[in-house]
Amino acid sequence: MVKQTIQIFCRIKPTKAKKSLYEIDCKDSSDIITFSVPKDVSEGFINNKKEEYKFKFERIFNQDTIQDDVFKQVAEPVIENVLSGYNGTIFAYGQTGSGKTFTITGGPEKYTDRGIIPRSISYFFEMFSKKPEYSFTMHISYLEIYNENGYDLLDPQHQVSKLEDLPKVTLMEDEDNNIHLKNLSIHPANNEEEALNLLFLGDTNRMIAETPMNQASTRSHCIFTLHITARETGSATIRKAKLHLVDLAGSERIGKTNANGILLTEAKYINLSLHYLEQVIVALAEKNRTHVPYRNSMMTSVLRDSLGGNCMTTMIATCSIEKKNLDESISTCRFAQRVAMIKNEAIVNEELDPRLVINRLKREVEELKNQLSIANNGEAFDGDLSQDEIEKLKILTLRYLEDRDNDSSLNVGADMRKINFCFKLLKDMYIQLLAKSKIAPVPGPSNQPANVTIIDASHYDSKELKDLKDTLRQRDNEISILVNMLKKEKKKFEDLMQGLLKPPVHVLSSSGSNDDLPKEFNKNHPKRQILQNMSLGRQEAFEIFKRDYVGNQEIEEQKKFLKKSYAEAKMLGELINTARTKLQHLKSKSEQIYLKLEATNSLNDPRQNSEYESTRKTMEFEKENYRENFEKLKNLKTQIEHAQYLIEKSQVKLQKDFEIWWTEQCELNEQKQQRLLGNDQSRVESISSIPSTANSLSTSSRINSSTNTTLTNSYQNEKSVFDYGDSHRKLPQIESEGKTSAASNQKINLTGDSEIDADITAFINARKRIINQMKPKN
């Protein structure tokens, strides 16, 4: 058992603010941060006399610390322990926007910004490959807790559009007070790519389920769990350990969030669950406290083992050090100091391989049955032994005789007919051998009784013995064929199951007009569904929305990076191929020289073998080149996969933001229409519109006045085109061909494309009909 307090780290988010409000003092065993609170701010503090606040951490990561360093110092030791069978938890705690998600999952822009989760996945698989004497398995689950409800983020069957679409996870407690999560799916990950796909699926589901009212990342807790098993070859024990990587909700105090309505409810839940977390931590820090209130919230129940239980736990306190965030950062650090007092008691989680246990139990049951049978009715078996049984008994007896192990036994069960048969068989053999063979009494080894007679195997020449051996061989063959068949069937079944469970694979989206749709998105993927269901107008609006979308630049940059990486990968691939061909050529050349030298017996003659030596040196050089490029290609592949993942994530976000914006625009339009219907019937009748891109985005609008049908691509920065009241007057107008007021009935040249024009006209007519129906009939 390892007794260890929770390790606490602090990370400062980079800021442009110049004024230095803190100082870090690095010591050998720990670091100390001192916050200097300016007088104006300190007035708002509870303890307003104090102007300096000092906190001690295992390590403090200043603003310029890169992700790799955080991973190495925080996560690597935890992972090493997980591989040895100890449970581990790393959780990030801090106010909204202080860098929790950045630390745990990573930033959306660069490969180097990958957070602890993707780095842990890579590290685990690297470690697996470095320990061939172990067989490892990895399984993954991803839980989100929002308003005290748990949701399974890894449900591949579901198309989610809101959080409630995801399967709900509930807590169950067994009689030993162990917590079980009902409905939380656990997925196998056989390699890094599969594991990253699961992370991507979870993150995508999390993002899709977000609404403007529910910025889940801020207001929910997320627990990504890696379940690892390790078994040393030949060993019957399995080590099982879990690594929880936790991104907690923002820790800011309720008063500061200006929460109201739904937000207030959420804020209450979040603050409550973090408050309960605090209660648990306070209780654990108190020496004589017996009751720890884990059950008060779902989060503390799930993380029960991580807090004061069988786990090695690490906390990262994330801090923003701008003046306005100072009080929150100080309370984050205070919280961390309390956490640091909690002692966990971690044990290696080992258990016997259930398959071996089952086999052993089966054998025991069989033996017990036999004993029982002998005890109850030793002669209970009736009738003669079948030919098959006789053959089997002969084989068993022969194996028994051939087995040189003194402890071996002849086990034929409780059937007295079989036991008698074997005795008879042994006696027959003995008599036959006595008759035919010379028997030499040989002094036995020290552990053998002196009067044991060893029979010389060379005298086993009877026909019966030979037959028995043949039968034995035949049976062995049959068994091995059956075992192979079983293995194949099992593999087929596993493949089938894996195929069913496999999440969508992320690859680079195709270039061209539809470049926002990743090529291999599952056809049921929510994003594809959304795009498929888009009307033409909506697609057009989407294209424009995309053009001006802030995050689009990131996507484009990633694509550029990918393009560059592909070119580099191609080049490396070519270099590798060339090196391989060269190596093959050099190998055959060196073989030829070698043969020649050997034939002339001049292998050791430095004058003769110089060509051989130089060929070998070139070979070594080429091999080194090959290895280097291969390694580079391998790294590049991981970077490419990550970039693809980031692109897709951004694309899903773009799609999601567009949907939110579109819905808002539709609602806005609806309201305007209603208003206009009351104010200006005639004008409303003549207006038809298609929602265009919103505020700050370029706009495509179609305006049809009572005398002119206008179509224009106009750009409005501040106002939506649905703001018809005044804004439509400001829009540039393009002349239409139709001049009559019955615009909807005439053939209008709107876009120049007759099909699209027909669509628009049909839309106008339909709209007009609806408006007419809505008019008060008098």
Ligand X SMILES: Nc1ncnc2c1ncn2[C@@H]1O[C@H](COP(=O)(O)OP(=O)(O)OP(=O)(O)O)[C@@H](O)[C@H]1O
**Binding site residues, as ranges?**
94-101
Calpha distance 723→100 (Å, rounded) = 40
Residue whose CB is less far from ligand X, 274 or 764? 274
Residue 62 beta carbon to ligand X: minimum distance, rounded to whole angstroms: 10
Residue whose CB is less far from ligand X, 85 or 106? 106
Residue 256 beta carbon to ligand X: minimum distance, rounded to whole angstroms: 13
Residue 143 beta carbon to ligand X: minimum distance, rounded to whole angstroms: 16
Residue type, 269: Y
Site mask for ligand X (CB under 6 A), range 724-743, x = bound: --------------------
Residue 523 token pair: 């056809």
CA–CA–CA angle 448, 452, 458 (5° rounding): 110
Residue whose CB is less far from ligand X, 107 or 725? 107
Residue whose CB is less far from ligand X, 103 or 609? 103
For residue 444, the 8-state DSSP code is: P
In sequence order, the 6+-apart residues with CB closer than 8 A to the CB of 378 are 414, 416
Calpha distance 400→422 (Å, rounded) = 11
Strands 7-12 and 59-61: parallel
In sequence order, the 6+-apart residues with CB closer than 8 A to the CB of 595 are none
- Nearest CA among 465, 390, 379 for reference residue 421: 390
Site mask for ligand X (CB under 6 A), range 243-282, x = bound: -------x--------------------------------
Site mask for ligand X (CB under 6 A), range 69-108, x = bound: -------------------------x-xxxxxxx----x-
- Would the CA dihedral through 287, 289, 294, 297 be positive or negative? negative
Q: At what angle do helices 192-208 and 116-130 cross, to 10 degrees?
A: 160
Residue whose CB is less far from ligand X, 278 or 464? 278
Residue 314 beta carbon to ligand X: minimum distance, rounded to whole angstroms: 17
Residue whose CB is less far from ligand X, 552 or 746? 552
Calpha distance 396→162 (Å, rounded) = 65
Calpha distance 686→50 (Å, rounded) = 68
Residue 559 beta carbon to ligand X: minimum distance, rounded to whole angstroms: 20
Residue type, 71: F
Residue whose CB is less far from ligand X, 265 or 408? 265
- Minimal CB distance to ligand X: which residue? 99
Residue 108 beta carbon to ligand X: minimum distance, rounded to whole angstroms: 7
- Within 10 Å of residue 89's Cβ, how many Cβ atoms? 24
Site mask for ligand X (CB under 6 A), range 202-241, x = bound: ---------------xx-----------------------
> Taking CB under 6 A as the criterion, which residues in 10-39 touch ligand X?
13-14
Q: How many residues bind ligand X (CB under 6 A)?
A: 15
Residue 99 beta carbon to ligand X: minimum distance, rounded to whole angstroms: 3
Calpha distance 512→527 (Å, rounded) = 18
> Taking CB under 6 A as the criterion, which residues in 289-348 touch ligand X?
318
Residue 646 beta carbon to ligand X: minimum distance, rounded to whole angstroms: 12
> Taking CB under 6 A as the criterion, which residues in 106-165 touch ligand X?
107
Residue 208 beta carbon to ligand X: minimum distance, rounded to whole angstroms: 16
**DSSP assignment of 650-719, as one string?**
HHHHHHHHHHHHHHHHHHHHHHHHHHHHHH-HHHHHH--------TTS-EEEEEE-SS-EEEEEE--SSS
Residue pair 285/334 in contact by the 8 Å Cβ criterion: no
Calpha distance 725→578 (Å, rounded) = 69
Residue 103 beta carbon to ligand X: minimum distance, rounded to whole angstroms: 7
In sequence order, the 6+-apart residues with CB closer than 8 A to the CB of 616 are 590
Residue pair 185/101 in contact by the 8 Å Cβ criterion: no
Residue whose CB is less far from ligand X, 71 or 722? 71
Residue whose CB is less far from ligand X, 375 or 550? 550
Pick out the residues of the known binding site for ATP. Answer: 94-101
Residue whose CB is less far from ligand X, 98 or 669? 98
Strands 31-36 and 134-146: unpaired
Residue whose CB is less far from ligand X, 89 or 704? 89
29-30-31-32 Cα dihedral, nearest 10 degrees: -120
Residue 200 beta carbon to ligand X: minimum distance, rounded to whole angstroms: 17
Q: Which positions lie near ligand X, rule CB under 6 A? A: 13-14, 94, 96-102, 107, 217-218, 250, 318
